[in-house]
Amino acid sequence: GVRDSDDSVSGRVRVAVRLRPQNAEEMVADADFADCVELQPEFKRLKLRKNNWDSDTYEFDEVLTESASQKRVYEVVAKPVVESVLDGYNGTVMAYGQTGTGKTFTLGRLGDEDTSARGIMVRAMEDILSNISRDSDSVMISYLQLYMETIQDLLNPINDNISIVEDPKTGDVSVPAATLVDIRTHHDFMELLRLGEAHRVAANTKLNTESSRSHAILMVHVKRSVTDMESEIPSDNYHSLHMSKSSKPPIIRKGKLVVVDLAGSERVHKSGSEGHTLEEAKSINLSLSALGKCINALAENSPHVPVRDSKLTRLLKDSFGGTARTSLIVTVGPSPRHRAETSSTILFGQRAM
Ligand code: ADP
Ligand code: MG
């Protein structure tokens, strides 16, 4: 793909890789083996071990080690996207990787007991809420689950088959049937996210599936009214503030942030699965490979981005490419037992660059 040092270039997907620390089980099971991933963050490089004497080296926009804090991950991966959303653009942050490698840890952790544990969704909302005006601006959110090409409303479970509507003139996509909640405070948002998570657990129990088999999609619509001279006028100067308001109408800036916790990328082995599991696997493969094709097309500056192939890519249509900013975080674990999955995750990330 095209590599640019200027990351504001449109269409460019920024790709970061994050390595999860070894867990308790791996400390025992992998004790006699070397980790299959070695990071060189100063060179933004990842080495994937092939065998005892050889490894492949890959470069990313950012390489986040086991000790990278949630705060740092947010700043590197999501903050630039959030800033452009506040400026009136659309943007996407998504996490891709095998189940158990830290997608939800990275995006969805609430950090109730310990605020340093907060993930990208919570930090993004904190940033957005602290940059808007309570009286003239608005922040509205929807929270959806996409499972087997069906969109469910995590804020209102009765709503379990939502359609995507596309504006023929602007090409903007929307889900008019989805619950849209006006968020005023951080507390409002935390309550809603908790409710959404509870609904997600209930819905997946009913469908007899794991949450790792579906995509969770948080959409944040930000509407701000800004005046050109806003920054130049001291707020205590009533007269000039008044003048500027009467002479120049405020400009409305609308941006949309989409945060996507993707379904686990692991291949379900067709030989071992049948019926429901096989259909699930096919559906996940369909949406993830459609996503892969779209981000490859973006990386190659191709005029044709095949968004029509899945609901996931149709939903994201106006949130990547064009003036939208996209960040992809690929998550991997250190265990040599998952080397093949880790390799395929890394290649997915590489194809986006
Ligand atoms: P996924 O959503 O990709 O299936 P999770 O986010 O649920 O993975 O993470 C799996 C487990 O690993 C969880 O117990 C989580 O707390 C832990 N974990 C993931 N990433 C990290 C990390 N960077 N540091 C510490 N623990 C992590
Ligand atoms: Mg998860």
CA of 261 to the centre of ligand 2 (A): 7
Q: Is the CB of 273 under 6 A from ligand 1?
A: no
Would residue 273 count as lying in a domain?
yes
Would residue 75 count as lying in a domain?
yes
For 150, phi and psi rounded to 5 degrees? -120, 135
What domain range is 291 assigned to? 13-35+66-351
Q: Is the CB of 101 under 6 A from ligand 1?
A: yes
Among the listed residues 200, 84, 178, the one whose alpha carbon sits nearest the alpha carbon of residue 131? 84
What contacts 27, CB < 8 A, 6 or more positions away? none
What CATH number is given to the structural domain containing 192?
3.40.850.10
pLDDT on residue 5:
42
How many CA atoms does the CB half-sphere of 270 hold within 13 Å? 5
Q: Is the CB of 102 under 6 A from ligand 1?
A: yes
* Single-letter amino acid code for the residue at 136: S
pLDDT on residue 228:
67
Would residue 45 count as lying in a domain?
no
d(CA 299, CA 288): 16
Would residue 61 count as lying in a domain?
no
Q: Is the CB of 21 under 6 A from ligand 1?
A: yes
Contact 16, 46 (CB under 8 A): no
Q: What is the mean pLDDT of each run of 10 residues along the chain (353 residues)?
A: 42 90 94 93 96 93 98 97 96 97 97 94 98 92 96 96 93 94 96 95 90 95 82 50 62 96 85 78 92 92 90 93 93 96 97 92
Specify the ligand 1 atom closest to the Cα of 99: 4
Give the predicted TM-score (pTM) of the model. Answer: 0.91
Contact 35, 347 (CB under 8 A): no
Would residue 99 count as lying in a domain?
yes
In DSSP notation, 227-243 reads: -TTGGGS-TT-HHHHHH
Q: Is the CB of 70 under 6 A from ligand 1?
A: no
**Nearest protein Cα to ligand 1, atom 10:** 100
pLDDT on residue 134:
83
Q: Is the CB of 97 under 6 A from ligand 1?
A: yes
Q: Are strands 90-97 and 325-332 parallel, antiparallel or unpaired?
A: parallel
CA of 176 to the centre of ligand 1 (A): 33
d(CA 329, CA 237): 45
Among the listed residues 168, 144, 8, the one whose alpha carbon sits nearest the alpha carbon of residue 89? 8
Please tell me whether residue 220 adopts helix, strand or coil conformation.
strand
pLDDT on residue 198:
95
Specify the ligand 1 atom closest to the Cα of 108: 6
pLDDT on residue 11:
53
Please list the residues that pair with 54 across neighbouring strands: 51
CA of 120 to the centre of ligand 2 (A): 13
Please tell me whether residue 157 adopts helix, strand or coil conformation.
coil
CA of 164 to the centre of ligand 1 (A): 31
Would residue 140 count as lying in a domain?
yes
- ipTM of model over 0.85: yes
* Number of domains composing the chain: 1
pLDDT on residue 329:
98
Would residue 343 count as lying in a domain?
yes
Specify the ligand 1 atom closest to the Cα of 18: 23
CA of 270 to the centre of ligand 1 (A): 26
Would residue 298 count as lying in a domain?
yes
